Amino acid sequence: MTIAIIGGGAAGYFAAIEAKRNCPSADITIFEKAPKMLAKVEITGGGRCNLTNSFRLISDVKHAYPRGHKLMKRLFKRFDHRSAYEWFEREGVGLTTQEDECVFPQSQDSHSIIDCLMGLATRLGVKQKTRHCLDSIARNDDGTLHLCFANGMERDFDRVAITTGGSPKGEGLKMHAMLGHEIEQPVPSLFTFNIKDRNFLELMGTVVEPVIASIPGTKMRAEGPLLITHWGMSGPAALKLSSHAARHLNERQYQSPVAINLGKKSLNRIIETLTNDIYQIEGRGKARDEFVTCGGVSLASIDLHTLESKVCKGLFFAGEVLDVDAITGGFNLQAAWTMGHVVGKHIVEC
């Protein structure tokens, strides 16, 4: 069985390793468009890689996954944060859980995760090819899948997994639409808010915690520390709210009121400015933004048990290319491990 994994990121490596373990005779190749594998994982968590979360502060999966929570709830029964934690520790990566429940490698270095994934893939015999950008997919009459790459290479594979990650501008989604997959319009998630209110900006550099940030007139709200920057609002409360309100704010071209409710009585100056106050979002922050994409290949086009396409047999999807994304805290990489695990099981089944 020949298998192509398109995208050498978190979901792609995990799917390839799990597939090879489930079926050692399978001929598996990861194709990555960039000159380097796992480049995004390298920069996660500020270079420390927040690879999962203890989920202790998450009362319902839907609070962590504004898109795809039903799918994640279902797949977590098969491979959840505990499974991922044990998986990496078993492979020799010591992990540590911070006070805020985020999980990092003990080394505090994303290279521990990268070395683990690349080392395992290499030892298992997974082929890994960089500078291979998939351009198109077609189904042959015999059921195999014909892949064309931008460098001119063309080849048929028995099975293919698409793990190309997020794409806020929608690049790479056209080929999936052409095969008949529904696409949820991609928009950025996890961004900061531009606020022009002068009194507010005078508090630049202040961290206030905890606050409840919300979009008035909606149920969208997020709790956590708020960081006041020279352009507006940042920090977990703003990033989480941007995730819940990603589509809402995009439809309003990032013009919306935002309410800040400060629960503490201590910080007098800040309380005067912030308690239950309403500010106007006037744009999306340009720094640290577009961490994650809201939207992508619609879950309506995917078998939710196997992650195989409903419209193209033999084609599987995992990771951020699907319409699944989370707030910050390690939940996005957890989704990549979980979906990679599931694809790694079903892609080798006859």
Ligand X SMILES: Cc1cc2nc3c(=O)[nH]c(=O)nc-3n(C[C@H](O)[C@H](O)[C@H](O)COP(=O)(O)OP(=O)(O)OC[C@H]3O[C@@H](n4cnc5c(N)ncnc54)[C@H](O)[C@@H]3O)c2cc1C
The strand pairing partners of 100, in sequence order, are: none
- To ligand X, the closest distance from the beta carbon of 214 in angstroms equals 24
d(CA 327, CA 213): 14
- To ligand X, the closest distance from the beta carbon of 41 in angstroms equals 6
CB atoms within 10 A of CB 146: 14
Dmax of the chain from CA atoms?
Answer: 72
- To ligand X, the closest distance from the beta carbon of 256 in angstroms equals 24
Strands 127-129 and 27-31: parallel
Q: Nearer to ligand X by C-beta: 149 or 193?
A: 149
- To ligand X, the closest distance from the beta carbon of 5 in angstroms equals 9
Interface with ligand X by CB under 6 A: which residues? Answer: 6-12, 31-34, 39-41, 43-45, 49-50, 133-134, 163-165, 172, 291-292, 319-320, 330-333, 336
Q: Measured between alpha carbons, how far is residue 64 from residues 109, 261, 274, 328 in Å?
A: 24, 21, 26, 8
Q: Nearer to ligand X by C-beta: 18 or 32?
A: 32
Q: Nearer to ligand X by C-beta: 252 or 288?
A: 288
The strand pairing partners of 258, in sequence order, are: 279
Helix locations, 180-231, DSSP H? 198-201
Q: Nearer to ligand X by C-beta: 163 or 273?
A: 163
Residue nearest to ligand X (CB): 9
Would you say 231 and 194 are in contact if contact means Cβ atoms under 8 Å apart? yes
Q: Nearer to ligand X by C-beta: 148 or 201?
A: 148
Would you say 261 and 233 are in contact if contact means Cβ atoms under 8 Å apart? no
- SS3 assignment, position 14: helix
Strands 2-6 and 159-162: parallel
- To ligand X, the closest distance from the beta carbon of 303 in angstroms equals 18
Q: Nearer to ligand X by C-beta: 134 or 270?
A: 134
- To ligand X, the closest distance from the beta carbon of 154 in angstroms equals 14
